[in-house]
Chain A
Amino acid sequence: MIAVIDYKAGNLTSVMKALRYLHADAEVTADPEVVRRAAKIVLPGVGHFRATQRLANGGLTEAVRESITKGAWFLGICVGLQWLYEGSTEAPETPGLGAFTGMCERFPAGIKSPHVGWNSLDSLRSDSKMLRGIPEGGFVYYTHSWRAPVSADTAAQTTYSAPFTAAVERDNVMGVQFHPEKSSTVGMTVLKNFVEL
Protein backbone atom coordinates (compact mmCIF):
# COMPACT_ATOMS: atom_id res chain seq x y z
CA MET A 1 0.00 0.00 0.00
CA ILE A 2 1.16 3.53 -0.80
CA ALA A 3 0.42 6.05 1.95
CA VAL A 4 -0.09 9.49 0.44
CA ILE A 5 0.43 11.94 3.27
CA ASP A 6 -2.15 14.67 3.70
CA TYR A 7 -0.74 17.67 5.55
CA LYS A 8 -3.08 20.27 4.07
CA ALA A 9 -0.51 21.64 1.63
CA GLY A 10 -2.16 22.19 -1.69
CA ASN A 11 -4.47 19.52 -3.00
CA LEU A 12 -3.81 15.83 -3.31
CA THR A 13 -6.36 15.34 -6.05
CA SER A 14 -3.96 15.26 -8.97
CA VAL A 15 -1.41 12.97 -7.31
CA MET A 16 -4.14 10.51 -6.30
CA LYS A 17 -5.65 10.71 -9.77
CA ALA A 18 -2.32 9.77 -11.35
CA LEU A 19 -1.69 6.92 -8.89
CA ARG A 20 -5.17 5.52 -9.47
CA TYR A 21 -4.66 5.76 -13.22
CA LEU A 22 -1.62 3.52 -12.69
CA HIS A 23 -3.81 1.12 -10.66
CA ALA A 24 -1.72 1.73 -7.55
CA ASP A 25 -3.13 0.78 -4.15
CA ALA A 26 -2.91 4.28 -2.68
CA GLU A 27 -4.54 5.80 0.37
CA VAL A 28 -4.62 9.39 1.61
CA THR A 29 -3.73 9.57 5.28
CA ALA A 30 -2.61 11.85 8.10
CA ASP A 31 -2.27 8.93 10.53
CA PRO A 32 1.31 8.10 11.61
CA GLU A 33 0.31 4.45 12.19
CA VAL A 34 -0.87 4.08 8.59
CA VAL A 35 2.43 5.61 7.46
CA ARG A 36 4.38 3.11 9.63
CA ARG A 37 2.53 0.18 8.03
CA ALA A 38 2.91 1.41 4.43
CA ALA A 39 5.41 -0.21 2.07
CA LYS A 40 5.64 3.07 0.18
CA ILE A 41 5.09 6.68 1.14
CA VAL A 42 4.38 9.66 -1.10
CA LEU A 43 4.70 13.17 0.26
CA PRO A 44 3.13 15.58 -2.21
CA GLY A 45 3.22 19.25 -1.60
CA VAL A 46 2.85 22.52 -3.29
CA GLY A 47 2.89 25.82 -1.54
CA HIS A 48 4.83 27.09 1.44
CA PHE A 49 7.61 25.14 3.22
CA ARG A 50 6.08 26.26 6.52
CA ALA A 51 3.23 23.80 5.93
CA THR A 52 5.64 20.91 6.55
CA GLN A 53 5.66 21.96 10.21
CA ARG A 54 2.38 20.04 10.43
CA LEU A 55 4.31 16.83 9.72
CA ALA A 56 6.34 17.31 12.89
CA ASN A 57 3.35 18.41 14.92
CA GLY A 58 1.25 15.46 13.75
CA GLY A 59 3.87 12.81 14.55
CA LEU A 60 4.38 12.17 10.83
CA THR A 61 8.04 13.18 10.71
CA GLU A 62 8.96 10.46 13.19
CA ALA A 63 6.74 7.91 11.41
CA VAL A 64 8.44 8.67 8.09
CA ARG A 65 11.91 8.54 9.67
CA GLU A 66 11.20 5.11 11.18
CA SER A 67 9.64 3.78 7.99
CA ILE A 68 12.48 4.77 5.72
CA THR A 69 15.02 3.40 8.19
CA LYS A 70 13.17 0.09 7.93
CA GLY A 71 13.36 0.30 4.12
CA ALA A 72 10.01 1.73 3.05
CA TRP A 73 10.16 3.47 -0.34
CA PHE A 74 9.67 7.23 -0.12
CA LEU A 75 8.87 9.75 -2.83
CA GLY A 76 8.67 13.47 -2.07
CA ILE A 77 7.17 15.77 -4.68
CA CYS A 78 7.99 19.50 -4.97
CA VAL A 79 7.93 20.79 -1.36
CA GLY A 80 8.02 17.06 -0.51
CA LEU A 81 11.50 16.88 -2.06
CA GLN A 82 12.60 20.06 -0.29
CA TRP A 83 11.51 18.60 3.04
CA LEU A 84 14.05 15.78 2.58
CA TYR A 85 16.84 18.37 2.96
CA GLU A 86 17.88 20.15 6.14
CA GLY A 87 15.44 22.96 5.61
CA SER A 88 14.50 25.91 3.44
CA THR A 89 15.13 29.63 3.67
CA GLU A 90 11.40 29.96 2.94
CA ALA A 91 10.70 28.97 6.56
CA PRO A 92 14.03 28.81 8.43
CA GLU A 93 12.31 27.95 11.71
CA THR A 94 10.86 24.73 10.23
CA PRO A 95 13.43 21.93 9.96
CA GLY A 96 13.36 19.41 7.14
CA LEU A 97 13.92 15.68 7.58
CA GLY A 98 17.64 16.03 6.91
CA ALA A 99 17.91 12.86 4.82
CA PHE A 100 20.00 14.89 2.38
CA THR A 101 22.44 17.64 3.25
CA GLY A 102 21.91 21.22 2.20
CA MET A 103 19.34 23.96 2.44
CA CYS A 104 16.77 24.91 -0.16
CA GLU A 105 17.13 28.46 -1.34
CA ARG A 106 15.15 30.88 -3.47
CA PHE A 107 16.07 31.52 -7.09
CA PRO A 108 18.25 34.63 -7.27
CA ALA A 109 16.78 38.03 -8.11
CA GLY A 110 16.95 38.97 -11.75
CA ILE A 111 15.19 35.89 -13.14
CA LYS A 112 11.46 35.25 -13.16
CA SER A 113 10.21 33.46 -10.13
CA PRO A 114 8.31 31.18 -9.71
CA HIS A 115 10.07 29.00 -12.28
CA VAL A 116 6.98 27.89 -14.16
CA GLY A 117 6.84 25.61 -17.15
CA TRP A 118 8.45 22.69 -18.90
CA ASN A 119 12.17 22.34 -18.42
CA SER A 120 14.55 19.50 -19.30
CA LEU A 121 16.04 16.78 -17.11
CA ASP A 122 19.78 16.68 -17.59
CA SER A 123 22.74 14.62 -16.28
CA LEU A 124 20.50 11.68 -15.40
CA ARG A 125 22.18 9.15 -13.12
CA SER A 126 22.14 5.80 -14.89
CA ASP A 127 21.61 3.88 -11.63
CA SER A 128 18.44 5.79 -10.75
CA LYS A 129 15.50 3.45 -10.19
CA MET A 130 12.98 6.26 -10.30
CA LEU A 131 14.23 7.64 -13.64
CA ARG A 132 14.46 4.33 -15.46
CA GLY A 133 13.40 4.77 -19.09
CA ILE A 134 13.49 8.59 -18.96
CA PRO A 135 15.52 10.08 -21.80
CA GLU A 136 18.24 12.67 -21.21
CA GLY A 137 16.63 16.05 -21.93
CA GLY A 138 13.10 14.77 -21.26
CA PHE A 139 10.71 17.58 -20.30
CA VAL A 140 8.88 17.90 -17.00
CA TYR A 141 6.60 20.56 -15.51
CA TYR A 142 7.79 22.83 -12.72
CA THR A 143 6.21 25.49 -10.59
CA HIS A 144 8.36 26.61 -7.63
CA SER A 145 10.51 29.45 -6.28
CA TRP A 146 12.82 27.50 -3.97
CA ARG A 147 15.12 24.67 -5.04
CA ALA A 148 17.58 22.17 -3.60
CA PRO A 149 21.32 22.28 -4.32
CA VAL A 150 23.06 19.75 -6.52
CA SER A 151 24.95 17.07 -4.58
CA ALA A 152 26.20 13.49 -4.98
CA ASP A 153 22.63 12.29 -4.30
CA THR A 154 21.24 14.28 -7.23
CA ALA A 155 19.72 11.88 -9.77
CA ALA A 156 18.95 14.53 -12.39
CA GLN A 157 19.51 18.25 -12.75
CA THR A 158 17.57 21.05 -14.33
CA THR A 159 19.05 24.40 -15.19
CA TYR A 160 17.25 27.66 -14.49
CA SER A 161 19.93 30.33 -14.33
CA ALA A 162 22.02 27.62 -12.61
CA PRO A 163 21.63 23.85 -12.12
CA PHE A 164 19.46 22.63 -9.24
CA THR A 165 18.32 19.18 -8.09
CA ALA A 166 15.47 18.01 -10.28
CA ALA A 167 15.47 14.54 -8.76
CA VAL A 168 17.26 13.13 -5.73
CA GLU A 169 17.69 9.47 -4.90
CA ARG A 170 19.62 7.44 -2.38
CA ASP A 171 18.57 3.81 -1.88
CA ASN A 172 14.89 3.90 -0.90
CA VAL A 173 14.58 7.68 -0.47
CA MET A 174 13.64 9.73 -3.51
CA GLY A 175 12.28 13.10 -4.43
CA VAL A 176 11.39 15.15 -7.48
CA GLN A 177 11.16 18.94 -7.65
CA PHE A 178 8.93 18.79 -10.73
CA HIS A 179 5.32 17.59 -10.76
CA PRO A 180 5.27 14.07 -12.23
CA GLU A 181 1.47 14.06 -12.04
CA LYS A 182 1.46 17.07 -14.39
CA SER A 183 4.36 16.05 -16.63
CA SER A 184 2.59 13.98 -19.24
CA THR A 185 4.25 10.71 -20.26
CA VAL A 186 7.67 11.50 -18.73
CA GLY A 187 6.07 12.20 -15.36
CA MET A 188 3.82 9.16 -15.53
CA THR A 189 6.90 7.01 -16.21
CA VAL A 190 8.49 8.31 -12.98
CA LEU A 191 5.36 7.48 -11.00
CA LYS A 192 5.05 4.08 -12.69
CA ASN A 193 8.67 3.31 -11.78
CA PHE A 194 7.90 4.16 -8.16
CA VAL A 195 4.66 2.16 -8.12
CA GLU A 196 6.47 -0.86 -9.57
CA LEU A 197 9.39 -0.82 -7.08
Chain B
Amino acid sequence: MLTKRIIACLDVRDGRVVKGIQFVDIIDAGDPAELAHRHAAGGADEIVLLDITATHEGRGTLIDTVQRTARELFIPFTVGGGIRTADDAAAVFDAGADKVSINSAAIARPELIDEIGQSFGAQAVIVAIDARRTANATDPVGEAEVYVSGGRKPTGRKVVEWAREAEQRGAGEILLTSMDADGTRNGFDCELTALVSEAVQIPVIASGGAGNAQHFADVFGRGRADAALAASIFHFGITDSRALKAEIQRAGVAMRLPC
Protein backbone atom coordinates (compact mmCIF):
# COMPACT_ATOMS: atom_id res chain seq x y z
CA MET B 1 0.00 0.00 0.00
CA LEU B 2 1.10 3.55 -0.72
CA THR B 3 2.53 5.09 2.43
CA LYS B 4 2.50 8.72 3.54
CA ARG B 5 5.87 10.38 3.15
CA ILE B 6 8.00 12.22 5.68
CA ILE B 7 10.19 14.68 3.83
CA ALA B 8 13.16 16.07 5.71
CA CYS B 9 13.65 19.71 4.83
CA LEU B 10 16.97 21.48 4.94
CA ASP B 11 16.83 25.27 4.83
CA VAL B 12 20.14 26.37 3.42
CA ARG B 13 21.66 29.82 3.54
CA ASP B 14 25.12 30.54 2.15
CA GLY B 15 25.74 26.83 1.74
CA ARG B 16 24.97 25.99 5.38
CA VAL B 17 21.86 24.51 6.91
CA VAL B 18 20.10 27.02 9.14
CA LYS B 19 17.32 26.54 11.62
CA GLY B 20 13.91 28.17 11.69
CA ILE B 21 13.80 31.73 12.97
CA GLN B 22 12.39 31.10 16.43
CA PHE B 23 14.54 28.12 17.16
CA VAL B 24 17.80 28.31 19.00
CA ASP B 25 18.73 24.65 18.86
CA ILE B 26 22.08 24.17 17.16
CA ILE B 27 21.92 20.44 16.38
CA ASP B 28 20.51 20.97 12.92
CA ALA B 29 22.93 23.63 11.71
CA GLY B 30 25.67 22.28 9.54
CA ASP B 31 26.75 20.96 6.20
CA PRO B 32 23.78 20.18 3.89
CA ALA B 33 25.38 17.09 2.34
CA GLU B 34 26.21 15.62 5.72
CA LEU B 35 22.75 16.35 7.12
CA ALA B 36 20.97 15.00 4.05
CA HIS B 37 22.79 11.71 4.45
CA ARG B 38 22.06 11.64 8.15
CA HIS B 39 18.35 12.17 7.43
CA ALA B 40 18.37 9.44 4.75
CA ALA B 41 20.04 7.03 7.18
CA GLY B 42 17.54 8.12 9.82
CA GLY B 43 14.59 6.96 7.75
CA ALA B 44 13.44 10.09 5.89
CA ASP B 45 11.48 9.22 2.74
CA GLU B 46 12.77 12.20 0.79
CA ILE B 47 15.04 15.18 1.16
CA VAL B 48 14.19 18.75 0.22
CA LEU B 49 16.87 21.41 0.12
CA LEU B 50 15.55 24.95 0.07
CA ASP B 51 17.95 27.77 -0.59
CA ILE B 52 16.04 30.24 1.55
CA THR B 53 18.01 33.29 0.63
CA ALA B 54 17.95 32.74 -3.11
CA THR B 55 14.77 34.60 -4.03
CA HIS B 56 15.03 37.87 -2.24
CA GLU B 57 18.75 38.27 -2.59
CA GLY B 58 18.68 37.24 -6.21
CA ARG B 59 21.21 34.50 -5.87
CA GLY B 60 21.14 31.31 -7.89
CA THR B 61 20.84 27.89 -6.34
CA LEU B 62 24.08 26.58 -5.06
CA ILE B 63 24.97 23.98 -7.64
CA ASP B 64 27.99 22.83 -5.74
CA THR B 65 25.92 22.16 -2.62
CA VAL B 66 23.40 20.22 -4.69
CA GLN B 67 26.15 18.13 -6.27
CA ARG B 68 27.75 17.25 -2.97
CA THR B 69 24.38 16.45 -1.41
CA ALA B 70 23.14 14.31 -4.31
CA ARG B 71 26.28 12.20 -4.32
CA GLU B 72 25.49 8.82 -2.76
CA LEU B 73 21.97 9.92 -1.81
CA PHE B 74 19.63 7.13 -2.93
CA ILE B 75 16.25 8.58 -2.01
CA PRO B 76 14.35 11.32 -3.88
CA PHE B 77 15.99 14.72 -3.66
CA THR B 78 14.23 18.04 -4.35
CA VAL B 79 15.88 21.43 -4.67
CA GLY B 80 14.15 24.78 -4.41
CA GLY B 81 15.12 28.42 -4.22
CA GLY B 82 16.19 30.76 -6.97
CA ILE B 83 14.97 28.62 -9.89
CA ARG B 84 13.59 31.17 -12.38
CA THR B 85 14.09 29.56 -15.77
CA ALA B 86 14.07 26.11 -17.37
CA ASP B 87 17.86 26.51 -17.67
CA ASP B 88 18.15 27.08 -13.91
CA ALA B 89 16.15 23.87 -13.43
CA ALA B 90 18.32 21.99 -15.93
CA ALA B 91 21.45 22.95 -14.01
CA VAL B 92 19.93 21.66 -10.76
CA PHE B 93 18.87 18.39 -12.42
CA ASP B 94 22.36 17.98 -13.90
CA ALA B 95 23.78 18.44 -10.43
CA GLY B 96 21.72 15.48 -9.25
CA ALA B 97 18.31 16.74 -8.10
CA ASP B 98 15.27 14.63 -8.98
CA LYS B 99 12.73 17.40 -8.62
CA VAL B 100 12.71 21.16 -8.41
CA SER B 101 10.42 23.24 -6.27
CA ILE B 102 9.37 26.55 -7.78
CA ASN B 103 7.46 29.27 -6.00
CA SER B 104 7.76 33.01 -6.72
CA ALA B 105 9.07 32.44 -10.23
CA ALA B 106 6.00 30.37 -11.14
CA ILE B 107 3.67 33.09 -9.88
CA ALA B 108 5.60 35.69 -11.87
CA ARG B 109 5.58 33.56 -15.02
CA PRO B 110 3.29 30.49 -14.80
CA GLU B 111 4.60 29.16 -18.16
CA LEU B 112 7.72 28.11 -16.24
CA ILE B 113 5.73 25.13 -14.92
CA ASP B 114 4.89 24.01 -18.47
CA GLU B 115 8.46 24.51 -19.65
CA ILE B 116 10.12 22.46 -16.90
CA GLY B 117 7.40 19.82 -17.10
CA GLN B 118 7.80 19.40 -20.85
CA SER B 119 11.57 18.99 -20.61
CA PHE B 120 11.84 16.89 -17.47
CA GLY B 121 8.38 15.42 -16.87
CA ALA B 122 5.60 16.43 -14.52
CA GLN B 123 7.08 14.27 -11.75
CA ALA B 124 10.07 16.63 -11.62
CA VAL B 125 8.08 19.80 -10.89
CA ILE B 126 6.82 20.74 -7.46
CA VAL B 127 4.93 24.01 -7.22
CA ALA B 128 5.39 25.46 -3.75
CA ILE B 129 2.58 27.65 -2.47
CA ASP B 130 2.93 29.88 0.57
CA ALA B 131 -0.62 30.36 1.79
CA ARG B 132 -2.27 32.60 4.32
CA ARG B 133 -5.91 32.48 5.42
CA THR B 134 -7.86 35.62 4.63
CA ALA B 135 -8.93 36.51 8.17
CA ASN B 136 -11.80 38.87 7.43
CA ALA B 137 -13.37 36.89 4.62
CA THR B 138 -16.62 34.97 5.11
CA ASP B 139 -14.65 31.83 4.17
CA PRO B 140 -11.09 32.46 5.46
CA VAL B 141 -9.83 29.05 4.23
CA GLY B 142 -11.57 29.06 0.85
CA GLU B 143 -10.37 32.61 0.29
CA ALA B 144 -6.79 31.84 1.43
CA GLU B 145 -4.28 33.87 -0.54
CA VAL B 146 -0.93 33.03 -2.15
CA TYR B 147 2.12 34.89 -0.83
CA VAL B 148 5.60 35.08 -2.33
CA SER B 149 9.10 36.13 -1.34
CA GLY B 150 9.23 34.03 1.78
CA GLY B 151 5.66 34.85 2.71
CA ARG B 152 6.17 38.60 2.71
CA LYS B 153 4.32 39.64 -0.44
CA PRO B 154 0.62 39.00 -1.09
CA THR B 155 -0.18 38.18 -4.71
CA GLY B 156 -3.95 38.60 -4.77
CA ARG B 157 -4.29 35.03 -6.05
CA LYS B 158 -6.47 32.44 -4.33
CA VAL B 159 -4.65 29.32 -3.16
CA VAL B 160 -7.10 26.75 -4.54
CA GLU B 161 -7.33 28.44 -7.92
CA TRP B 162 -3.52 28.66 -8.21
CA ALA B 163 -3.09 25.00 -7.18
CA ARG B 164 -5.52 23.99 -9.94
CA GLU B 165 -3.70 26.09 -12.50
CA ALA B 166 -0.35 24.60 -11.44
CA GLU B 167 -1.81 21.11 -11.93
CA GLN B 168 -3.22 22.00 -15.35
CA ARG B 169 0.14 23.39 -16.40
CA GLY B 170 1.82 20.11 -15.51
CA ALA B 171 3.01 20.29 -11.91
CA GLY B 172 3.58 16.86 -10.39
CA GLU B 173 3.06 17.84 -6.76
CA ILE B 174 2.00 20.81 -4.65
CA LEU B 175 4.02 21.84 -1.61
CA LEU B 176 1.58 23.81 0.53
CA THR B 177 2.99 25.88 3.38
CA SER B 178 0.59 27.53 5.77
CA MET B 179 2.12 30.85 6.78
CA ASP B 180 -0.42 31.01 9.63
CA ALA B 181 0.70 27.69 11.10
CA ASP B 182 4.39 27.96 10.27
CA GLY B 183 6.52 28.25 13.39
CA THR B 184 3.60 27.83 15.81
CA ARG B 185 4.14 24.12 16.61
CA ASN B 186 0.35 23.91 17.05
CA GLY B 187 -0.19 21.59 14.10
CA PHE B 188 -0.64 21.85 10.35
CA ASP B 189 -3.51 23.79 8.80
CA CYS B 190 -5.53 20.63 8.12
CA GLU B 191 -8.56 22.49 6.79
CA LEU B 192 -6.59 24.35 4.14
CA THR B 193 -4.54 21.27 3.24
CA ALA B 194 -7.69 19.18 2.79
CA LEU B 195 -9.28 21.87 0.65
CA VAL B 196 -6.29 21.98 -1.71
CA SER B 197 -5.81 18.20 -1.71
CA GLU B 198 -9.42 17.68 -2.75
CA ALA B 199 -9.21 20.37 -5.41
CA VAL B 200 -6.40 18.66 -7.34
CA GLN B 201 -5.55 15.14 -8.55
CA ILE B 202 -1.82 15.48 -7.82
CA PRO B 203 -0.18 14.78 -4.45
CA VAL B 204 -0.07 17.54 -1.86
CA ILE B 205 2.81 17.96 0.58
CA ALA B 206 1.83 19.76 3.80
CA SER B 207 4.21 22.13 5.53
CA GLY B 208 4.18 24.42 8.55
CA GLY B 209 3.12 23.99 12.13
CA ALA B 210 4.30 20.52 13.10
CA GLY B 211 5.03 20.18 16.81
CA ASN B 212 4.47 16.48 17.44
CA ALA B 213 3.74 13.16 15.73
CA GLN B 214 -0.02 13.50 16.22
CA HIS B 215 0.05 16.66 14.08
CA PHE B 216 1.41 14.56 11.20
CA ALA B 217 -1.22 11.86 11.76
CA ASP B 218 -3.86 14.62 11.67
CA VAL B 219 -2.66 16.18 8.40
CA PHE B 220 -2.42 12.74 6.77
CA GLY B 221 -5.93 11.93 7.98
CA ARG B 222 -8.16 15.00 8.23
CA GLY B 223 -5.81 17.09 6.10
CA ARG B 224 -5.69 14.50 3.29
CA ALA B 225 -2.01 15.26 2.74
CA ASP B 226 0.07 12.76 0.80
CA ALA B 227 3.33 13.84 2.38
CA ALA B 228 4.53 16.29 5.02
CA LEU B 229 7.66 18.31 5.53
CA ALA B 230 9.57 17.81 8.73
CA ALA B 231 12.19 20.29 9.84
CA SER B 232 12.12 21.75 13.32
CA ILE B 233 10.27 18.71 14.72
CA PHE B 234 13.67 17.06 15.09
CA HIS B 235 14.64 19.72 17.62
CA PHE B 236 11.99 18.66 20.07
CA GLY B 237 12.71 15.21 21.40
CA ILE B 238 11.94 13.23 18.26
CA THR B 239 15.37 12.07 17.23
CA ASP B 240 14.86 11.19 13.58
CA SER B 241 12.32 10.28 10.87
CA ARG B 242 12.32 6.64 11.93
CA ALA B 243 11.18 7.55 15.44
CA LEU B 244 8.66 10.06 14.06
CA LYS B 245 7.28 7.52 11.58
CA ALA B 246 6.96 4.85 14.27
CA GLU B 247 4.85 7.27 16.34
CA ILE B 248 2.72 8.26 13.35
CA GLN B 249 2.17 4.60 12.50
CA ARG B 250 1.03 3.97 16.06
CA ALA B 251 -1.52 6.72 15.47
CA GLY B 252 -2.92 4.64 12.60
CA VAL B 253 -1.19 5.96 9.46
CA ALA B 254 0.77 3.55 7.21
CA MET B 255 4.41 4.56 6.93
CA ARG B 256 7.49 3.12 5.22
CA LEU B 257 8.72 0.97 8.09
CA PRO B 258 11.15 -0.63 8.58
CA CYS B 259 13.28 1.91 6.77
Residue of A nearest to B71 (CB): A17
Q: What's the Cα separation between A65 and B214 when bound, in Å?
A: 53
Q: Is the CB of A139 within 8 A of B259?
A: yes
Looking at B70, B120, B123, the one whose CB has the most chain A CB atoms below 10 A away is B123
CB of B143 within 8 A of chain A? no
One of B70, B72, B226, B259 near A116 (C-beta < 8 A): B226
Shortest Cβ distance from residue A8 to the other chain B in the assembled complex, whole angstroms? 9
Q: Does the CB pair B93–A116 fall under 8 Å?
A: no
Known: A47-B120, A118-B45. A14 touches B96 (CB 8 A): yes
> How many CB-defined contacts (below 8 Å) exist between A and B?
90
Task: Report chain A residues within 8 Å CB of B4.
Answer: 117
Q: A17-B71, A46-B121, A117-B227 are in contact. Are A11 and B172 (CB under 8 A)?
A: no
Q: Considering the chains assembled together, what is the distance between the CA atoms of A112 and B94 in angstroms?
A: 28
Collect the chain A residues with CB atoms within 8 Å of residue B2's CB: 115, 117-119, 160
Which label, helix, strand, loop or mixed, suits the secondary structure of the B interface? loop
Q: Residue A114 at the B interface, CB < 8 A? A: yes
Whether the Cβ atoms of B5 and A181 lie closer than 8 Å is: no
Assess whether B40 is interfacial by the CB under 8 Å rule: yes
Are B45 and A46 in contact (CB-based, < 8 A)? Answer: no
A179 to B122, alpha carbons, bound, how many Å? 16
Cβ B75 vs Cβ A184 within 8 A: yes
Q: Counting CB contacts under 8 A, is B3 at the interface?
A: yes
In the bound complex, CA of A114 to CA of B122 (Å) = 9
Contacts of B203 in A (CB 8 A): 112, 114, 116-117
Given contacts A10-B124, A117-B2, A120-B1, A184 and B259 within 8 Å (CB-CB): yes
Q: How far is the CA of A13 from the CA of B76 in the complex (A)?
A: 13
A183 in contact with B74 (CB, 8 Å): yes
Min CB–CB distance B110 → chain A (angstroms): 20
Cβ-closest 8 pairs across A and B: A47-B121, A143-B123, A118-B256, A139-B256, A119-B2, A116-B203, A11-B93, A118-B3
